[in-house]
């Protein structure tokens, strides 16, 4: 029997006062500042620079950065709420903020030394965007087969190679780049480096023309004899695989949040449209068939939210969360695709055209099953734990 003095645990979706305030302020911001730009940014495949400034102004580009470095001093769960609310309106803006917080800042907080923290965190909180460069043309799911090399020379490392698919690359100033310094040692040669935009030998290559999240930039990174000081190593030499695994394990909860927000956004749109649209002399939301479809969408959103919040709260509590993170990502991304598809159906012909917002959500949903570990890789993680292998 539990001790009667034990306080009951709060329900998973109950938010503290500061969590509620943050969620409301991001929700208001997304409606006022993001929504008017969504279509244009998607069409031009470009994130608005003015919007990026406002994201910094709102203080959500450094959610977990300690206050002494100019950040919000928040939790991982706060980042998840921010990504969810932004993605409800635009998943492209959601992922920009997600990569900044749950990958780049997360890695620096965890693995950076005092110099990294004091030099990088104030910039990331105030004005600099971060990007996370792991994937390459030949190494996606098998990320540790990366071919980018770093060679030690005097008091520097010289990096050569190419990264592909790097989110935020167009806007970023600070790049976390993974290179192997000792290929004979396999993944134990992988090392994480902080590389600044403008470093000689480092250029941003081709920008991808994508199906969805079009306003989020995705580019190639090219390193040709790019020399970085030894102080650019984040964490220990040869321990980059740990930096990568551990940040991605957490980062995928952020993708779960992005997909949760998208699924909620599709439901929001479906509710308001079906209340307006009239057929057979009444609003289509009055047909029970439509009501059941909306209800099913809501059940899926709630289940996704429970999975995402549970994984994030476990992470903040310092408890194991690996398979919960994999579950929340695969489930929320499948729900996002399903809900966006259902929203299109409920919009009828209007669902199929760009004048209405739901076809974009459908395109945006697809990425959730691909990046930060494809759905098959999430299933592999879950199955390994089930089978103890
Ligand atoms: C828009 C976008 C943004 C991205 N942003 C970033 C970023 O910021 N930083 C970064 O480093 N990377 C980024 N990526 C890369 C992304 O993480 C990879 O695309 C992803 O990990 C999949 O790798 P791949 O594309 O090489 O596919 P592959 O690994 O070639 O996979 C192809 C198919 O094979 C399946 N498969 C592969 N191996 C197995 C296996 N062992 N068992 C079962 N099935 C398997 C996969 O599930 C998938 O269905 C981004 C990608 C995109 C498209």
Q: Is the pLDDT of residue 9 over 90?
A: no
On average, the pLDDT of the chain sits at 97
Longest alpha-carbon distance in the chain:
79
- Between CA 144 and CA 153, with CA 148 as vertex, the angle to 5 degrees is 120
Residue 304, pLDDT score: 98
Q: What gap in Å lies between CA 158 and CA 116, rounded to an integer?
A: 19
For residue 389, pLDDT beyond 90: no
What is the distance in A from the centroid of ligand 1 to the CA of 253? 17
State in Å: Cα 377 to ligand 1 middle: 9
pLDDT at 187 over 80: yes
Strand partners, 180: 149, 190
The β-bridge partners of 176 are 132, 194
The distance of Cα 361 from the centroid of its chain, to the nearest Å, equals: 16
Residues in the chain: 389
What letters, b where the CB count within 10 A reaches 16 and e where it falls short, cover 136-148?
beebbeebbebeb
In the predicted model, is pLDDT for residue 6 greater than 80? Answer: no
Q: What is the pTM of this model?
A: 0.97
From ligand 1's centre to the CA of 143, what distance in Å?
9
More confident: 155 or 3: 155
Pairing of strands 130-133, 174-180: parallel
pLDDT at 238: 97
pLDDT at 7 (0 to 100)? 76
Mutate which of 99, 140, 205, 367 for ligand 1 pocket (most atoms within 8 A of beta carbon):
140
| 3-state helix vs strand vs coil in the chain, percent to 5 | 60, 15, 25
> One of 136, 171, 359, 372 is an active-site residue; which one?
372
Identify the sign of the CA torsion 373, 374, 380, 383. positive
Does residue 5 surpass a pLDDT of 70? no
Residue 167 CB–ligand 1 contact under 6 Å: yes
Distance CA 104, CA 101 (A): 6
Residue whose CA is at the smallest distance from ligand 1 atom 42: 376
- Spatial separation of the C-alpha atoms in residues 325 and 309, rounded to whole Å: 10
Q: Picking from 6-10, 89-93, 251-255, which range would have the lowest pLDDT averaged per residue?
A: 6-10
Residue nearest to atom 9 of ligand 1 (CA): 166
pLDDT at 4: 53
Q: Which of 10-14, 75-79, 214-218 has the lowest mean pLDDT?
A: 10-14
Per-residue CA distances from 230 to 110, 156, 178, 192 (Å): 19, 5, 14, 11
Please provide the distance, in angstroms rounded to a whole number, between the alpha carbons at the two ends of the chain. 34
Q: How confident is the model at residue 229 (pLDDT cuts 50, 70, 90)?
A: very high
**327 Cα–ligand 1 center, Å:** 17
Predicted pLDDT of residue 383: 97
User: 74-91 pLDDT, tens per residue?
Assistant: 999 999 999 999 999 999
Q: What's the confidence (pLDDT) of residue 80? A: 98
372: annotated active-site residue: yes
pLDDT at 2 exceeding the cut of 80: no
- Res. 3: pLDDT tops 70: no
How many angstroms is it from 168 CA to the middle of ligand 1? 17
**Cα 140 to middle of ligand 1, angstroms:** 4
What's the pLDDT at 8?
A: 81
Is the shortest distance between the CB of 135 and ligand 1 below 6 Å?
yes
Is residue 59 in contact with ligand 1, taking CB distance under 6 Å? no
For the CA of 377, the closest atom of ligand 1 is: 47
Could you tell me if the CB of 369 is within 6 A of ligand 1?
A: no
Question: In this predicted structure, what is the pLDDT of residue 186?
Answer: 97
With a 6 Å cutoff on the Cβ, whether 122 touches ligand 1 is no
Beta-strand (E) ranges in 19-147?
A: 130-133
Answer positive or negative: Cα dihedral of 123, 257, 133, 47.
negative
Which positions ≥6 away from 271 have C-beta within 8 Å? 285, 294
Residue nearest to atom 29 of ligand 1 (CA): 141
Q: Quick one: which H or E segment has residue 263?
A: helix 240-276
Nearest residue by C-alpha to atom 38 in ligand 1? 141
């Amino acid at each position: 029997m539990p001790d009667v003095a034990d306080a009951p645990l709060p329900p998973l979706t109950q938010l503290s006062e500061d969590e509620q305030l943050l969620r409301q302020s991001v929700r208001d911001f997304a409606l006022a500042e993001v929504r008017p730009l969504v279509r244009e940014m998607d069409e031009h495949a470009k994130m608005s620079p003015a919007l990026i400034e406002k994201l910094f102004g709102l203080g959500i580009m450094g959610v977990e950065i300690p206050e002494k470095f100019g950040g919000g001093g928040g939790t991982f769960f706060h980042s998840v709420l921010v990504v969810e609310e932004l993605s409800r309106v635009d998943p492209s803006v959601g992922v920009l903020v997600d990569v900044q917080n749950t990958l780049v800042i997360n890695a620096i907080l965890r693995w950076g030394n005092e110099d990294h923290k004091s030099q990088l965190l104030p910039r990331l909180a105030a004005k600099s965007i971060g990007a996370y460069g792991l994937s390459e043309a030949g190494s996606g799911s098998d990320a540790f087969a990366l071919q980018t090399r770093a060679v030690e020379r005097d008091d520097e490392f010289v990096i050569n190679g190419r990264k592909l698919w790097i989110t935020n690359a167009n806007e970023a100033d600070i790049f976390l780049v993974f290179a192997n310094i000792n290929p004979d040692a396999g993944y134990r040669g992988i090392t994480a480096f902080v590389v600044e935009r403008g470093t000689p030998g480092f250029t941003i290559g081709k920008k991808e023309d994508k199906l969805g999240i079009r306003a989020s930039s995705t580019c190639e990174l090219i390193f040709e004899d790019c020399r970085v000081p030894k102080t650019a190593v984040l964490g220990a030499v040869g321990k980059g695989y740990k930096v990568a695994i551990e940040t991605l394990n957490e980062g995928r909860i952020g993708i779960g949040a992005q997909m949760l927000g998208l699924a909620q956004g599709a439901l929001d749109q479906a509710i308001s449209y079906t209340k307006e649209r009239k057929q057979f002399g009444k609003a289509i939301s009055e047909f029970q068939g439509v009501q059941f479809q909306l209800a099913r969408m809501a059940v899926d959103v709630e289940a996704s939210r429970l999975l995402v919040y549970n994984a994030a709260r476990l992470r903040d509590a310092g408890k194991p969360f690996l398979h919960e993170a994999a579950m929340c990502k695969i489930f929320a991304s499948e729900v996002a695709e399903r809900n966006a598809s259902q929203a299109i159906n409920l919009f009828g012909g209007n669902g199929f055209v760009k004048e209405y917002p739901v076809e974009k959500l459908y395109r945006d949903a697809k990425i959730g099953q691909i990046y930060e570990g494809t759905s098959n890789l999430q299933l592999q993680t879950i199955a390994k734990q089930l089978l103890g292998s």
